[in-house]
Amino acid sequence: MKRPNILLITSDQQHFSTLGCLNPELKTPALDRLARQGTLFERAYCPNPTCTPTRASMITGKYPSQHGGYALGTKLPENEPTLGEYLRGAGYRAALVGKAHFQQLLWDDRFPSLESYPIMQDLEFWQRFHGPFYGFDHVELARNHTYEAHAGQHYAIWMEENGCANWRDYFRPPTGTSPVTRHKWPIPERFHYDKWIADKSCELLRRFKRSGEPFFLWPSFFDPHPPYLVPEPWDTMYDPEALTVPCVTPGEHDNNPIHFQMTQQKNPDFSPWQEPGGNGMHGFHSHLHERRDMAKNIAVYYAMITLMDKYIGQILTSLDELGLRENTLVVFTTDHGHFYGHHGLIGKGAFHYEDLVKIPFIVSWPGRVPEGGRSAALQSLVDLPQTFLSACELPIPRDMTGVNQWDVWLGRAQPARDHVIVENHHQPTTIHAKTYVDERYKITVYCNRPYGEIFDLERDPGEIRNLWNDPQSAGLKAELMRRLLCAEIRKEEPLTDETARWPQKSRDMYIKTLRDDRYEVTVDPTRNVVGFYDLAGDPQRRRNLWDAAQHAPARAEMVRKLLFARMEREPIWMPRVSGA
């Protein structure tokens, strides 16, 4: 069989519910059509609720704690193997158009970045450079969201080539001269980056058609990531008064970690979370807002999605017109979710509600992927490289730590996952969280912190009642902590002697036994081994007390300590040199 093409289309920071086929308050005709032509997976998750870590996972098949791009303001090390490299080795062309965000925004001589100042605005350099870049042999890049000052790279060149000599007028200083504005972006739609991404993607599709080479093409859109700005007439497309505005439930944060509670204060002091080696803390600020302002923000957020959908439709139409559709696997998704009033929150941060970590996810391939399907099978973006390679009948590298979902996508297998893991190492020690989600439950832990969250997604789908400190849920808490630890162990990256020496790697974080001044615990599900010993009365470890009910609280505490010991050993091979 002829190997398929792969078309991966992504948005940025899109709430899982913002598809017209799920939410009648907005229109996404192109994506709705794609969902009818394929399967909509309703329980897909990101491996990290920020850009760089997740996007790096999407091309490496590894978790952020493994590939090195552990937080915003870091970079994916260039020595990490990527999906594009494997595909190119099999004769594919690999191209990315739009947002990469594999590297940090500020240049550091120790950690160079092509996505940073000042090189991002050296247009002579970008006239010459189109790759290779992280396995892509051709890239067309930009870095700004709407009118941010980060405009430059290939997008700026395209604007100039298409008659927008005054492009700097539409962007913030110091790059441009635009004043602060809200909701309506004065840039004409014909110069909007959605059109640039669609034009360049369609151009590449035509090139691939002519060459006859199989391809991996990633049109990577920037919207609906804030600032909430869209050209006219889209800024007035939706009536704020007609939209549902999510809000906080009174008292819902009373049992949550303190940083949740502080978001609902007028002037919270988050300075205790700041530390050397860290940087800007997304979400650690006041989230208080007026309902009317949020309604308008939502109207523009929806308009950004509908505008993007228009240009996604153009790419899909080009695929059809070129006769490429029948042999192209198409996936639409986003890098992570977004708060627009949910739980009283805005944007993103270390708040692992479904609104932030669950994502839209559509898979389509005519005659292969079931049409018009809905699936509750758990998906993670870390699974994309393995699954794409499987679809192309190529070997899956042993060091990828995601899951092959290909048979699940084809509808001929039961779920490949019984859980997903979401990481968030946003500061070296003060913001370091992991979330485990299975069919029913969710637990979030914070390294070396006494607080956390547990939600019963079956009985409490809105995640209003945190069971972390509920005495009746102590057994559930211990069991979910054990499941998280076992899941962490099962996703360990196999390291060779060479890769173990790479600065972003660590065999030390894969410990499976921990001893304190009284107890010793061992957990290794890969060998079906568990052990818990009271060293005070049994120094020779002859009596395994793992199943002893009277020792359950002590065993649970040692499991927690082992989990945290592994987390605190995760390598910080570079500091967060910028906020993004």
10 Å CB burial of residue 149 (0-12, 13-18, 19+) is middle
Segment 137-161 shows an average pLDDT of: 98
Distance CA 113, CA 106 (A): 7
**Spatial contact of 497 and 505, defined as CB atoms under 8 Å apart:** no
Helix %, strand %, coil % of the chain (to 5): 35, 20, 50
Instruction: List Cα–Cα distances, 529 to 35, 74, 524, 544, 558, in angstroms.
Output: 44, 36, 5, 11, 15
Q: Is the Cβ–Cβ distance between 287 and 348 less than 8 Å? A: no
- What is the tens place of the pLDDT at every residue in 493-527? 999 999 999 999 999 999 999 999 999 999 999 99
Q: Residue 1 above 90 pLDDT?
A: no
pLDDT, tens digit, 9 for 90 and up, residues 435-450:
999 999 999 999 999 9
Is residue 406 a contact partner of residue 387, using CB atoms and an 8 Å limit?
yes
User: Which of left, alpha, beta for 125 (phi over 0: left; psi -120 to 50: alpha)?
Assistant: alpha
pLDDT at 413: 87
Q: To the nearest whole number, what is the mean pLDDT of the chain?
A: 97
512, 525 Cβ separation under 8 angstroms: no
pLDDT of residue 2: 87
Cα–Cα distance, 491 to 505 (Å, whole number):
14
**pLDDT-above-90 percentage for the chain:** 98
Question: What domains are there in the chain, each with its CATH number?
Answer: 5-252+289-417 (3.40.720.10)
Instruction: Compute the average pLDDT of residues 179-201.
Output: 98
Confidence check: pLDDT of 191 > 80:
yes
Cβ atoms within 10 Å, residue 548: 13
Task: Write the pLDDT tens digit of every residue in 311-328.
Answer: 999 999 999 999 999 999
Q: Is 60 helix (H, G, I), strand (E, B) or coil?
A: helix
181: confidence class by pLDDT, cuts 50, 70, 90? very high
| Total-model pTM | 0.97
Q: What backbone phi and psi angles, to 5 degrees, belong to 258?
A: -60, -30
Model confidence at 14: pLDDT above 80: yes
Residues 559-571 pLDDT 10s? 999 999 999 999 9
Indicate the residue type of 566. R
pLDDT in tens, 21-31: 999 999 999 99
The predicted pLDDT at position 369 comes to 98
User: In this structure, are strands 138-142 and 93-99 parallel, antiparallel, or unpaired?
Assistant: parallel
pLDDT, residue 195, reads 98
pLDDT, average across residues 205-230: 98
Give tens-digit pLDDT for 339-360.
999 999 999 999 999 999 999 9
Q: What's the pLDDT at 170?
A: 98
What mean pLDDT is predicted for residues 186-208?
A: 98
pLDDT tens digits for range 69-99: 999 999 999 999 999 999 999 999 999 999 9
**Considering all CA atoms of the chain, what is the largest pairwise distance in Å, rounded to the nearest integer?**
81
| Average pLDDT over every residue of 464-491 | 98
Non-local CB neighbours of 84 within 8 Å, separated by 6+ positions = 59, 94, 134, 135, 136, 137, 216
Residue type for position 165 = A
DSSP count for the chain of H helices, then E strands:
14, 22
Place of tokens 């950690």: 111
Cβ–Cβ contacts within 10 Å for residue 97, how many?
Answer: 29
Helix (H, G, I), strand (E, B) or coil at 120: helix
Task: Give the pLDDT mean for 62-68.
Answer: 98
Contact in structure between 529 and 489 (CB atoms under 8 Å): no
